[in-house]
Chain A
Amino acid sequence: MLSIEKLNVSVGDKKILQNFNLKISKGEVHAIMGPNGSGKSTLSYALAGKDGYVVDGKILFKNENIVDLKADERAQRGIFLAFQYPIEIPGVFMNNFLKTSLNAVRKAKNQKEVDVVEFLSLVKQHAKKLGIKEDQLGRALNVGFSGGEKKRNEVLQMSLLEPDLAILDETDSGLDIDALKTVADGVNALRSPHRSFLIITHYQRLLDYIKPDFVHVMVNGSIVKTGCSKLAQELDKIGYKEFQKAI
Chain B
Amino acid sequence: MAKRNTNRLKKRGVRRREFGGRTWLRHHRYLLRESLGDIIRHPFASALTWLVIAVALALPALLYVTQKNLDQLAGQWQEGAQVSLFLEDRVSVSDGENLSRDLQRRPEVRDAWYLSREDALDEFAAWMDMAPVLSSLDNNPLPATIIVIPVSQTRTDIEILGELLGSLPEVADMQMDIEWVQRLERISEVLQRSLLALSGVLGLTVVLVIGNTMRMATEARRDEIQVIKLVGATQSFVRRPFLYMGVWYGLFGGLVACGLIWASLALLSGPVSALADSYGTALGLRPLTWTEGATLVGVAILLSVISTWLTVSRRLAQIEPNPL
Q: Do A and B come from one complex?
A: no
